[in-house]
Structure 1
C-alpha cells in the first residue's frame, strides 16, 4: 500500500528520497511528500498526484538536508489532497505511516480535549500529535516513541523525525513491513528491499512489534517489550535490471512478455530436468496430509482455485480455497492433519497473513507460495515455495499469476506421485509437459497483434462476460478481474454451465462474451454454450486452440487460436491472451495501466 523511505545520510537527501519513492510507485499511490530537518526545524514538501508534482514543488522550494523521510500515500482516511498527504507534522514530530490506526478517533478526541489542533483528516496525524504531546510531558525521544506505540491499536509501519534529533530516524512495525538498510556511514529505513535498492543491499527486516533507532552508523532494534532484539542482516540479490521497462511502454506489458523466462525459472526450481521427476523443496510428506486449505486474495485466490482443480484431479487430495478476508471471520472448522497454504505475491497481504495465523493456531502445518522469500508470511510458515518470478511492478498481476500456477502444477504432480495416484512414467510425462510451458507461453504472446485488434471493439463495451469450464473457469475469473482492474470496464467471469442460471439475461448484441475453451474434455459443452450466446446476439470472442478452432460452431466474431498443448498446462498457455486483451483495452481507454485508480500492489491492511 503506502510506501516509506527514510535516510540518515551524508549528502543532500531530497533527490534520493524521490528516487526511492519512484521504486515504490508499484504499490499504488495518490499523493507524495518528504520531510527533513533544517537547522533543527522540521520542514516538508507535499503534493497530490504523481511524483512529478512533488518534484515540481521541490524544484521551487528545495529541501537542503542530509536526513529525511518520504512517503507515497494511498488514501484511506481523508481525500487525496495536499493537507492529507504525508509527512504529517505536529510540533517537534514528523511522521510517515503505512497502515491504519484503528483507535485514532478515540486518541484524537483525547488530544483535542487537551487543546491539540489537527490539520488533516487522516488517522496518521494522531501519531504525530500523540508523540509530540508525550515529548512535552518530559520523556526522551525513544521513551516517548515507545510510550506512543503502546497507545496505538491497528496496523502500522512508521518512520519518524524528531526536531532537535538532527541525525536520527525512529521506525516501528506492527503488520505492514519495514526494513532497515545498512550503508557506509549512512543508514536507511524503507517499506521493502526495492525501496532500499539504490543505496544498499544489506537489509534487516523488523518483526511485528519491533521499533528501531537509526543513526549514521547503526540501528538499535527493540522488540515489543522494549528489549534489544537481534534481527539478521541479509544480502539481497541485485534487482536494478528488473526495475527498468526497457523497450516496453509499461511494466505490465514487460511483465507479460517476461512470462516465458519467468515460468522457466519457476518450473526449473520444482523439477529435476535430468530425471524428469518433480523436486519440490521443503520435504513435505503429501501422503500424511488429509486436506489442503488455501487462503489468498485477489489474483492469488484465483491461482489457488486453479490449484484446487489440479491437485484434486491428479492427487485425489481434497483442497479448499477461500478468500482470506472472509476465512477467519466465519470461524471455519479445521483439522490439524490439514496443510494450510498461504498464497501472496508480496508475502505481506494482511488478510492472508491473518488467515494463515488462524490456521496455525488450530495446529495445522503451513506453507507459503510467495514471491518475496524474506516477507512476513514466508518467515512464519513451515515450508516456503517461492515463485521465483522476480519483482512485479505493475499493480495488475501477470507473471506472478502464471508463476503461482506453475508452482501449483508442479505440486499437484509431486503430490500425485507421492500418494500413488500416478506411476513414475506418468510423473515423467507430466514433467516433460510442464517443461514445454515456457515455449508455448512465448508462442501465445505472439498473438498480441490479433488481440490488439479485438481490443478496439471490446473497449467500446460497457460490460464484458468471460465464460469457461473446468480450469478455464478460474481463468475466466482472472480475465474479468484484469479487465476491471486496468480498463475500468465492468466484467464478470462465470462457470459456463451456469449461463442459463442467470448470466444469459445479460447477453445482447452490445456485450462481448469471451469464451475460453481449448479442445479438451469440456469442449463439447463449451461449444454448446457458445451457440446459446450467439443465438441471442452475443458477440463472441472465442479463445481456443487449433483443434478447437476446427470444431467450433460457426459465428464467432473473433477466434483467437492459442498453441496446441496438453490440458495440464492449458491455463498457463491461455493466460497471455486474456492479459494482453485487458492491457490493450486499457490502452484504448487511455487508462493508467501500471497504476490503476484506487488500487495498490501490496494490500498490507485489512
Structure 2
C-alpha cells in the first residue's frame, strides 16, 4: 500500500499517476486519486493495474492551483473492489491511508449510531467520517483533525483533504512510513517512499511516529501531541536511473545481475589489513554480550538462519533466530546480555519493527541490518549496518538477500575478532573467501541460457522440494520461497536429512527435487539423502560441482575452496531458475499476485 500527495502543482492528476507508477513495483490490487480544485473534489478509482485508472482520468484536466492525493492499495479489510479502493470520502472530505486502524470497529459502531452510512468494508473509511463529525462539533478543521488522530489506534500514514479547507493537506504518521518534501518553487509533496519524489525535491523530512500536521499556502505545520516540531530536512540522494531496467526483461532479472556490484559495495571500506571495520558498532561493548538473537520475516528470516550457522561455527557465540510475527506474541524471555538483531530490506516491516521495540523496552542492545536509511527500523535501533543493495523493485527479493548474508558474515567475523573467539588464520581465510564473492556472483551467460532451456521441463508436477544441509538448508528455504512467490507453484525448502521422517512419502516422478550438493560441506551425507529420493523415482535436479549419475538434470557449479563460494553460486542458480520458470508460465515476475514489497501491516 503506497500513497502520495501534492499541494500547488500544475497538472497534479498527471503527477499523481506518475508518482503511483513509481511505486507500482511494491504491489497493489486497486488505485485511486482525488483532486481538490476551486472548492470541488474530483475522484477516480479502479481495480487492477494503474492503466485502468489512467483510462478513467484521461479526459480530466486539473491545471492550476490545487491539492491532490493518490493511493495504491493491497486489500486488508475488505476485498479488492472499487468501493474498497482509496480514496474514501464522507460528505466533504477525502482520505487515503496506509496501515491498519485497530480500533476501527469501535469507532464504526459509534458512527453507525449517529446515522453515518458506510460505502466500503475498510477500516480507513471510519477516519474520514470521524473527522467530519469532529468538524461539525468543533467548527474548526485543524482541531477536528487533531482530535481524530488522537482517537485512532494502530498503524497509519494518513493524508486528508477537505472542501472545508480547500488549500490544505492534513497528514499524520504512526508506525508506517510517510515523508514530505518541498520544491524550490514552494510545491509541497507527500509520499510513502523516496521514489516518486526523486527529481522533484532535493530534500525531504522523514516523519516520526506520532507526528501530524498540515500543509497550507506553501507552509508546513508539524506537531506531536500539540507541540510544534522542527522540520528536519535530509538530502534525497537516489538517482532515478538506478530504478530503470537497463535493458533487462524484468527488474528482478536486472537485480540478479546487479548482485556482483552491490556485494562489492557492501564490502567496500569494511575490510582493511585483514581486519573487519564496522564503525557503526563503535558504541557496542561485546564484552557484555554472550548471545545473539535475530528476528526477521520472509527472505530476511532465511538470511538470519544462515547467519545462525556462521555465528556459532565461526564466532563461537550462541545464536537463535525468531520469526518476528511469532516472537511478538510468545512472551519471550529477553536478556540484556543478548544482542538483538533485526533484519529488513525496507526497514518498515511491521512485525519486525514491533519486535525491535519490545527488545528496546527490555533494555537489550539492538542492531538493525537494513537496506533503507532513515527507515523506521533504522531510526529505532541503537545501531545500524546498511546493506547498500540500492533500490530493489522486484517484489521477490534477490540482491537484498545476498547483501544481508554478506553483511551478517562480516558481522560474524567482527564478533569473532573482537571477542577473540576466532584465530587469526581463520579470520584471514574467511576474509579471502568474502572478497571472492563479487566475482562468484557475476552471471555466466552460458549458465543462464542452460537454466532457461532446462526450465521448460519444470512447469507442471505436484510440487518442488529444495533440499540442503547445514547452511544450505536456509538457502533451500530461500530457493523454494523465490519459486513459489513468482511461479505460484508449490515449493518447500527442507533439511535433506529430514526427508526420511515423513516428506519422502510424497516422492514420485512428478515431485521435483532441487538438491543443493556442495563439495565443501557434508557432500557424502547429502549424496545419501538424494539417493533415497532417486530410489523413490523423484525427478532430480542436482546443483553441484561433482557430477551425480542419478540426476535427471544437472547444473555444474565451479570448484570452490570455501563453502560460502558454493553458497552464493547456488543462490544465483536458484534465483535464475525461479525467474525462468515464472517467465515461461507467463507471470508478472516483478509484481506477483497477493504480495507487496514493503509489508507494513501485521
Quote the residue 1:567 is aligned against: 563
Instruction: Give the structure 2 partner of residue 220 of structure 1.
Output: 221
Q: Which residue of 2 aligns with 1:277?
A: 275
8 Å Cα contact 2:257/2:443 also seen in 1:
no
* Correspondences of 1:172-211 after superposition (within 5 Å): 172-184=172-184, 185-211=186-212
The answer to whether the Cα contact below 8 Å between 1:41 and 1:164 also exists between their aligned partners in 2 is no
The within-5 A match list for 1:469-484 is: 469-484=469-484
CA deviation vs aligned residue, 1:189-223 (integer Å, no higher than 9, x gap):
11021232241131111111110211342321111
Question: TM-score with structure 1 length normalisation?
Answer: 0.96
Measured at CA, do residues 443 and 4 of structure 1 come closer, stay the same or move farther in structure 2, by a change above 3 Å? closer
The counterpart of 1:558, out of the listed 546, 553, 556, is 553
What is the CA–CA distance in structure 2 between the aligned matches of 1:462 and 1:22, rounded to whole Å?
A: 36
- The CA distance in 2 between the partners of 1:93 and 1:445, in whole Å, is 55
2:431 is aligned to 431
Q: Residues 231 and 309 (structure 1 numbering): CA distance in 2 closer, same or farther, change over 3 Å?
A: farther
SS in 2 for 1:143: helix
Could you tell me whether the CA contact under 8 Å between 2:440 and 2:565 is conserved in 1?
no
Is residue 8 of structure 1 aligned with residue 36 of structure 2?
Answer: no
Distance 1:486 1:541, change over 3 A: same
Aligned pairs for 1:119-134 (under 5 A) are 119-134=119-134
Q: Is 1:602 equivalent to 2:598 in the alignment? A: yes
**CA RMSD across the alignment:** 1.4
Q: Tell me, what secondary structure is at the counterpart of 2:4? A: strand
The superposition leaves residues 502-532 of structure 1 with CA deviations (integer Å, 9 ceiling, x where unpaired) of 1101110011100011102311011111111
Compute the displacement of 1:68 (Å). 0.3
Q: For 1:17 and 1:26, how far apart are their aligned partners in 2? A: 16
- Specify the alignment match of 1:114 in structure 2: 114
Deviation at 1:562, TM superposition (A): 2.1
Taking structure 2 as the reference length, the TM-score comes to: 0.97
Q: Deviations over 1:557-587 (max 9, x none)?
A: 1111122221134322221111111111111
How big is the shift at 1:328? 2.2
Q: Contact 1:36–1:44 (CA<8 Å) still a contact in 2?
A: yes
Distance 2:570 2:360 in 1: 35
Deviations 1:360-406 (A, max 9, x none): 11110000000011101101111110000101111110000000000
Residue of structure 2 equivalent to 1:586: 582
**Distance (whole Å) between structure 1 residues aligned to residue 226 and residue 350 of structure 2:** 24
1:576 aligned onto 2:572:
yes
Measure the CA separation in 2 of the matches of 1:400 and 1:577: 16
**What are the residue-to-residue correspondences of 1:407-486 with 2, within 5 Å?**
407-443=407-443, 447-486=447-486
Q: Quote the residue 2:38 is aligned against.
A: 39
| Mapped partners of 1:563, 1:237: distance in 2 | 38
CA distance in 2 between partners of 1:480 and 1:216 (Å): 52
| Contact 1:3–1:71 (8 Å) recurs in 2 | yes
Show CA shifts across 1:433-483 (max 9, x none): 101101111146752111112211111223111100011100000011111
For residues 437 and 9 of structure 1, the distance between their equivalents in structure 2, rounded to whole angstroms, comes to 49
CA 567–56 in structure 1, closer or farther in 2 if over 3 Å, else same: same
Could you tell me how far apart the structure 2 residues matched to 1:209 and 1:323 are? 27
For 2:49, the equivalent position in structure 1 comes to 50
Q: How far, CA to CA, are the matches of 2:510 and 2:582 in structure 1?
A: 18
For residues 585 and 285 of structure 2, the distance between their equivalents in structure 1, rounded to whole angstroms, comes to 49
Q: Check whether the contact 2:521–2:563 (CA below 8 A) recurs between aligned residues.
A: no
Separation in 2 of the partners of 1:191 and 1:591?
27
Displacement of 1:591: 1.2
Structure 1's unaligned 5+ residue stretches are: none
- Does structure 2 retain, via aligned residues, the 8 Å contact 1:293–1:339? yes
- Bigger drift between 253-262 and 159-168 goes to 159-168
Q: Which secondary structure does the structure 1 equivalent of 2:438 belong to?
A: helix
Query: For the Cα contact (< 8 Å) 1:180–1:219, is it kept in 2?
Result: no
